[in-house]
Structure 1
Amino acid sequence: MLSKLAHMNRRLPYSNSEWRSILRSLLREASYLPDPIARGACHNQIVQRFRRYYDEPRIDYMRLRELHKKARYNLSLFQRANEGYLQPLEKVLRTAYGRRGRRRRELLASMLVADVPQDSTMVEELLAGPGQFEEGWRPPGIINTLLASQNTNAAVLQLRSKRPVRRLEPPIPKTNAWGRKVPLVRRRNIRREWYNSVLNYLLPPLPPAELQVLEGLISGKVPWKPTKRRSRPPSPNTEHSKGGMIRTVLTAGPPKGETFRLYENGRPHRITRRLMCRLWRRISCIVPRLHRDDSTGKPRVTWDATRPRPTLALYAKEGSSRELFGNGEGSRKHILKVAAKR
């Protein structure tokens, strides 16, 4: 058995030409994505992942199978996203903007780096304080602020697939099942589990440059146009031949009329600016904006709305209050004139 496994490890299941073909196909489909941030982020992720495993000297047989399956899945995901399927396209956008996956963890780690002490006094206070998850340990302040704000956002609770973390502090009971005090090891493990669940649930803010691009795409300040795809070569039509008909009957069943089988997992949409604005707004409403409150000096979190809010006020010239709030037909005509200008 061991000799057979060793022989399988020596014989790679996939050739270099096949990996090269998958890499080119992934990069080609990534260049067709209708979002500028997604094109750059997906291209970098593909190249980094292939370089990482290319430099690794030894990879076992099962790991190669998993990597090949993951690469084929991502290729299918990009193809369906470029064809206009909404769920794959939104999934790619969430990955590119750091709402899920590895980029979300990277943005979260960069946000927590801001709490690193900058001078020797803060370093001494940190060393004199309790260790991580020990008695008296407190998570970074930005974690509790962002968690409390995220739990009050209805759009995040609706669009986020992760289970929400409602508790702002680790749920440490006073006594255990025997009525005794909870041991130190158990309390430390409870803090670690709570902190890991919070990091798995939080949505970090975007870098200012990418947030500016996202808001510009929604408002129209950043120009956008659909990407042009290279025309595919026509596939040979073998359905009318004898072998092609037999193959079609064996794989898809006997010929029938129009059905919804092709659209059971959704249907392709024509990628327009209106469609992309809907998806961009769904991404923007789950991106927190961190601000510094001038009065208290503490961080404040704001969120974007899912839909643009209607204007509830009209701007008028100074001194025209009598015409606006007066009685008579003149005030009504003036209000309609101001509303028409808006």
Structure 2
Amino acid sequence: MQAPLPQQTVSNLKSIHLLRALLREASYLPDANARQYFRRYIVNRFRAYQPAHNASPSFHAKAVEKERHGFGKRRDISIIQDRTREMQHRGKKGLNYLRRANNGEYLCLQKILYFTYGRIGERKYALLEHLLRPDDPPAVEESSPLQKLYYSNERYLSFFDAPKKASPTHHNIQISDRYRRLKTAIKSQVQNEIALGREIKRPHLHTPINNVWERPMPIRRARNNVRRWYAETMTRFLPPLPAEEFDQIQAMAHGKEKISLVKRRSPAIELHPSKELPEADRFAKRVQDALILEKPSKADACIRPRRIDARFMRRMYAAILTYSSKLEWNDRYKKWESVWGNRLNEMNSELNSEAHHDDLFAGVDEKGNLLKQRDSSLAKEEEDVKQFLNSSLADYQKAKGKKEKYTVVPFYVDFLPPDHPVRIATKKIWAKDRIHSASGASTPRKTDVNNRSIRT
């Protein structure tokens, strides 16, 4: 005889409606990988808080119990009852976040893609787990040099080599050559200065040899220094993606691969509409809804949602590409190389093949800045100065065609070379002036701060 089904409570029905709403909203995400990732994420989270007597006997449901991080591990019935209201509230917040992402909010959709492609969240540590395996696993597992030196079998110590002295006061602890992929990826990220938050300072641990009393560093403190550096580095580290996934993002960012956008389904039509309530009941319902005081979400307050099209998604993929990389094996040098994606600095010629005229870019430089329009009077004055310096003083006066009582000589004449035409002409004028002064002529002089007046 089949066991009777458990009675459906209001809380159970609310969780079922929330699950259906989350799965429906996740199916509208503009990325195919994001739709698959969040579908598994939502289902596993609800399975973890499903009572054991309601669990499905399928093989996949039993495999959830063996999750590494305990992410999908089924909770005890007492924990489920205590956390039901809190988890329903978190699920509603997640539903509003998915709605905002589907409405085209840039930061929400960007965070969704960060989760999908392992820049943050659980998948980041799943990708990191592949790098934390030795490239050539030994037949017999041996302790690493740092584990032997610090008398500990902690796992984080197995990723490092023995300390090497870098200065009289400090030594460096490098990542072991058994983890060449991990070492290459961290070193490449430090060299390219890429990080979502604070950058990684060094690809190795730089730690003091002695403590503040100039005594040998205690082993416990040395272990803690390694542990803190390892935890901080793994938090800021961006693990490389699989090569196929990286190439797919790059192809979609460059417009070489079609982006899998989906259309929102039309709402269902009510087959048996309810009868209109009388005026008294409508007033009572309106008062009851007003007393609930539910705060509207940002998804409901979005008046003008942004249209998500292929151009918008190409920019999103280009932004994700700057924080993504892949590892490639170099057969020539027999080593791993890390390849990082670059932001698109110019438009792809395949996306915009229309011809343009040169007049569209007239008056701007290579960076798109407007060229400064020079004043005509200033340009004329500069041209006069060039003419004055490149010709003799007499030719300059002749070209001016003016008869002045005083000839103004610039103050920088003494700094010109001796063979300069202006300085030679000035010497002739000085000589003529001395002869004129010796003859007894008295002509008033004018002086200036920057110029010397010579009588002619």
Indicate whether the TM-score tops 0.5.
Answer: yes
Bigger RCO of structures 1 and 2 (CA < 8 A, at least 6 apart): 1
Residues 146 and 44 of structure 1: CA distance in aligned 2, closer, same or farther (over 3 Å):
same
How many Å apart are 1:165 and its aligned residue?
A: 2.0
How many Å apart are 1:138 and its aligned residue?
A: 4.8
1:305 aligns with 2:342: yes
SS in 2 for 1:301: strand
Match of 2:33 in 1: 37
Match of 1:182 in 2: 217
1:283 aligns with 2:331: no
How many Å apart are 1:296 and its aligned residue?
A: 2.5
* Aligned residue among 169, 172, 185 for 2:204: 169
SS in 1 for 2:262: coil
**Residues 160-209 of structure 1: CA deviation (Å, up to 9, x unaligned):** 1x322202222322222333221011001110111111111111122233
How many Å apart are 1:310 and its aligned residue?
A: 7.2
Give the AA of the match of 1:171: H
Residues 105 and 272 of structure 1: CA distance in aligned 2, closer, same or farther (over 3 Å):
same
Q: Bigger shift: 41-50 or 162-171?
A: 162-171
Residues 190 and 234 of structure 1: CA distance in aligned 2, closer, same or farther (over 3 Å):
farther
Residues 14 and 214 of structure 1: CA distance in aligned 2, closer, same or farther (over 3 Å):
farther
Residues 27 and 147 of structure 1: CA distance in aligned 2, closer, same or farther (over 3 Å):
same
SS in 2 for 1:300: strand
Residues 59 and 108 of structure 1: CA distance in aligned 2, closer, same or farther (over 3 Å):
farther
Task: Determine the C-alpha separation between the residues in 1 that align with 2:112 and 2:256.
Answer: 23
Point out where structure 2 has 5 or more consecutive residues left out of the alignment: 1-8, 51-73, 148-154, 163-172, 275-281, 295-299, 349-456
Match of 2:184 in 1: 145
Larger Rg: 2
Task: Determine the C-alpha separation between the residues in 2 that align with 1:75 and 1:246.
Answer: 25
How many Å apart are 1:242 and its aligned residue?
A: 7.1
Task: Determine the C-alpha separation between the residues in 2 that align with 1:180 and 1:283.
Answer: 48
* Aligned residue among 50, 68, 71 for 2:91: 71
TM-score, structure 2 as length reference: 0.54
* Aligned residue among 256, 259, 274 for 2:311: 274
How many Å apart are 1:45 and its aligned residue?
A: 1.2
Match of 1:22 in 2: 18
Match of 2:237 in 1: 202
* Aligned residue among 191, 202, 205 for 2:226: 191
Q: Bigger shift: 82-91 or 44-53?
A: 44-53
Task: Determine the C-alpha separation between the residues in 2 that align with 1:149 and 1:228.
Answer: 40
SS in 1 for 2:211: coil
How many Å apart are 1:304 and its aligned residue?
A: 1.5
Instruction: Tell whether the 8 Å contact from 2:240 to 2:326 is kept in structure 1 after alignment.
Output: yes
SS in 2 for 1:171: strand
Residues 66 and 199 of structure 1: CA distance in aligned 2, closer, same or farther (over 3 Å):
farther
Q: Bigger shift: 16-25 or 163-172?
A: 163-172
**Residues 256-304 of structure 1: CA deviation (Å, up to 9, x unaligned):** xxxxx956xx963100110000001111121112122333222111211
Task: Determine the C-alpha separation between the residues in 1 that align with 2:259 and 2:136.
Answer: 42
Task: Determine the C-alpha separation between the residues in 1 that align with 2:253 and 2:45.
Answer: 31
Equivalences for residues 97-246 of structure 1 within 5 A: 97-113=117-133, 115=134, 117-120=136-139, 123=140, 126-127=142-143, 129-131=145-147, 132=155, 133=157, 136=162, 138-139=174-175, 140-153=179-192, 156-157=194-195, 160=196, 162-224=197-259, 226-232=261-267
**Residues 86-113 of structure 1: CA deviation (Å, up to 9, x unaligned):** 1111111111111110011111112322
Instruction: Tell whether the 8 Å contact from 2:243 to 2:327 is kept in structure 1 after alignment.
Output: no
Residues 262 and 90 of structure 1: CA distance in aligned 2, closer, same or farther (over 3 Å):
same
Residues 218 and 310 of structure 1: CA distance in aligned 2, closer, same or farther (over 3 Å):
closer
Task: Determine the C-alpha separation between the residues in 2 that align with 1:14 and 1:287.
Answer: 45
SS in 1 for 2:118: coil
TM-score, structure 1 as length reference: 0.70
Match of 2:76 in 1: 57
Give the AA of the match of 1:145: T
Instruction: Tell whether the 8 Å contact from 2:246 to 2:326 is kept in structure 1 after alignment.
Output: no
How many Å apart are 1:56 and its aligned residue?
A: 2.4
Residues 211 and 234 of structure 1: CA distance in aligned 2, closer, same or farther (over 3 Å):
same
Instruction: Tell whether the 8 Å contact from 2:255 to 2:314 is kept in structure 1 after alignment.
Output: no
Q: Bigger shift: 71-80 or 301-310?
A: 301-310
Match of 1:80 in 2: 100
Instruction: Tell whether the 8 Å contact from 2:174 to 2:205 is kept in structure 1 after alignment.
Output: no
SS in 1 for 2:239: coil
SS in 1 for 2:49: helix
Task: Determine the C-alpha separation between the residues in 2 that align with 1:194 and 1:202.
Answer: 12
Identity %: 30
How many Å apart are 1:130 and its aligned residue?
A: 4.1
Residues 171 and 70 of structure 1: CA distance in aligned 2, closer, same or farther (over 3 Å):
farther
Match of 2:44 in 1: 48
Instruction: Tell whether the 8 Å contact from 1:171 to 1:190 is kept in structure 2 after alignment.
Output: no
Task: Determine the C-alpha separation between the residues in 2 that align with 1:207 and 1:65.
Answer: 39
